[in-house]
Amino acid sequence: MILLALLLAAGTGALAGKVTLSGLAPRLAPLPVTRDMKVCGNNKPDESVEVSQGGGVRNAVVWLTDVPVPKDVKTRKEKLDQQHCAFVPHVVVAPVGSTVDVVNSDKALHNVRAQAGDVKLMNYAMPIPGHVVPTKLKKEGTFKVSCDVHPWMRAWLLVLPTAAFAITGEDGRYGIADLSPGRHRVKIWHERLGEREAEIEIRADETATYDVQYNPR
């Protein structure tokens, strides 16, 4: 269990837990690299499901759907980099109204595209190493990120109506601090394993626990 008690502001609570996969994790073949091998290498790992030896699921996103975006959201920034023809990190989460800096760290042309259904968030050609494009996140959504030049490049950008979120680490654990007491709606998303929802009671000066177990897909 993640210990958040020492991080809590007076009168607030926290939520912590672990996202796991039951049974054996799927064995995913590496993604083949078909161009720019000197920069990109020969293949890339498939990051759509990453599971630790203890069954922890990485890159699951947990958030509270009923906690509003803070007033200082315009000052918040996240970063989506392109390193050796892979998006880093694989999953980016940011509140609506904040900014994500899209970066090209490679000596190669990239064209970054992010789309959720018919909603297009970005479509940038980035030919210069060190090129940074600040992108204002004006619309909520779960955006699939790709590169038109390198089809194996995949990532996700979740733009949420809250700043009360967390991404699970390599061991599948997460923690969200400084939550107002009361009942809250919690949602969990994973790109391949799906979504879960629950209602959780948050108490002042305490850490509530919400664990989720997925079945393999």
| pLDDT tens over the chain, length 217 residues | 344 444 577 789 999 999 999 988 889 999 999 999 999 999 999 999 999 999 999 999 999 999 999 999 999 999 999 999 999 999 999 999 999 999 999 999 999 999 999 999 999 999 999 999 999 999 999 999 999 999 999 999 999 999 999 999 999 999 999 999 999 999 999 999 999 999 999 999 999 999 999 998 7
CA dist 211 and 175 (Å) reads 11
The residues that bridge with 103 in the sheet, in sequence order, are: 81, 132
Residue 7's pLDDT is: 57
Buried b vs exposed e over 149-182: b needs ≥16 C-beta within 10 Å?
bbebbbbbbbbbebbbbbbbbebbbbbbbebeee
Cα-based torsion angle of the residue sequence 56, 61, 66, 70 in order, rounded to the nearest 10 degrees: 120
Residue 5's pLDDT is: 44
CA dist 35 and 217 (Å) reads 30
Q: Is the dihedral of CA 194, 165, 126, 29 positive or negative?
A: negative
Element (H, E) at 38: helix 37-40
CA dist 205 and 12 (Å) reads 6
> What domains can be seen in the chain, in order of their start residue?
23-174+184-214 (2.60.40.420)
The DSSP 8-state label assigned to residue 40 in this structure reads H
Residue 102's pLDDT is: 98
**C-alpha 214: how far from chain center:** 17
Beta strands in the chain (DSSP E): 13-21, 31-32, 43-44, 61-64, 77-82, 87-88, 91-95, 99-104, 110-116, 119-126, 131-136, 141-147, 154-160, 165-167, 173-179, 182-190, 194-202, 207-209, 212-214
Amino acid at position 88, single letter: V
Residue 10's pLDDT is: 78
Phi first, then psi: give them for residue 7, nearest 5 degrees. -95, -5
Tokens 């038109």 correspond to 148
Q: Cβ distance 167 to 157 under 8 Å?
A: no
pTM of the full structure: 0.93
Residue 23's pLDDT is: 87
